A and B are shown apart, each in its own frame.
Chain A
């Protein structure tokens, strides 16, 4: 055996691991995650018209309201068959936002009106928001180059000119 069970070396290894796990959790919380593996059906049904927004970006109650109102979804009909609707609503509620992502139900249940979203984007100029390449604040991928992978790290941001 290389080290005994209670050797200082073994203990510090545990310490290191624990630190890594905690750091990872903190990082994840800061980036709209824990990065949940997106349900293929969710991507299929919801990402035809817009990005497959991470379920952690809205609190459960907002998701429920949105899912109960899909025939009038921000001005378009996004209705689903009853079985799919039930499955996706339950999945979204299970993985809905916690912590600062659940502190409020944002106005109109829009992710882009949540306090954390507004604060994170306060330095983005109105010209950038209006750029044809951006078009909508819901178009995450216009600037967040890794958004389709759930990566919203600031280093991956490229604001189109």
Chain B
């Protein structure tokens, strides 16, 4: 009787531990602050981010129809507008929109999509770090 209840307990606590660690792992891979994400990209690129280069990258076209600012605005402390559908896009600057750059998977997804649209390729870690560094300087 005693061993039975003990084994049931340990099975449960094992399951709980597995569940909790899975949850923790998921959280680690997702939740972040903009500064942490920037630090990650900077570490990946191997050199410090440059604010001015980030602004230049964001506001100029790269051989295609759109720049980042076509949809996000030249100074993304305000809402932008999707270039083809006209749908409103919430401000990108983290100081204005607290949800921005707080989820690593979401950040990666949008860099992948939007860099493909703007440059026809994925962005490098250095480019992402520069853009994020510039965005972090923007105040409401």
Contacts and interface: CB of A to CB of B under 8 A. Distances in A.
B85 A77 contact: no
A77 B117 contact: yes
A135 interface: yes
A19 interface: no
Contacts of A77: 112-114, 116-117
Interface string A118-150: 000000000000000011101100100000000
Interface residues of B, number: 13
A154 interface: no
A71 interface: yes
A139 B89 CA distance: 14
Contacts of A142: 86
Given A76-B117, A139-B87, A50 B82 contact: yes
Nearest to A133: B86
Contacts of B116: 71, 77, 79
Nearest to B122: A77
B109 interface: yes
Contacts of A71: 116
Contact of B113 (A74, A75, A76, A136): A76
Interface residues of A, number: 19
A138 B85 contact: yes
Given A71-B116, A78-B113, A79-B113, A139 B84 contact: no
Contacts of B113: 76-79
A145 to B, nearest CB: 15
A49 interface: yes
A74 B117 CA distance: 11
Interface in B88-121: 89, 105, 109, 112-114, 116-117
User: Closest 7 CB pairs between A and B?
Assistant: A135-B86, A77-B116, A77-B113, A50-B85, A76-B117, A139-B86, A49-B82
8 contacts: A48-B89, A49-B85, A76-B117, A77-B112, A77-B116, A77-B117, A135-B86, A136-B84
Given A75-B84, A135-B86, 12 more contacts: A48-B89, A49-B85, A76-B84, A76-B113, A77-B112, A77-B113, A77-B117, A78-B113, A79-B112, A79-B116, A81-B105, A136-B84
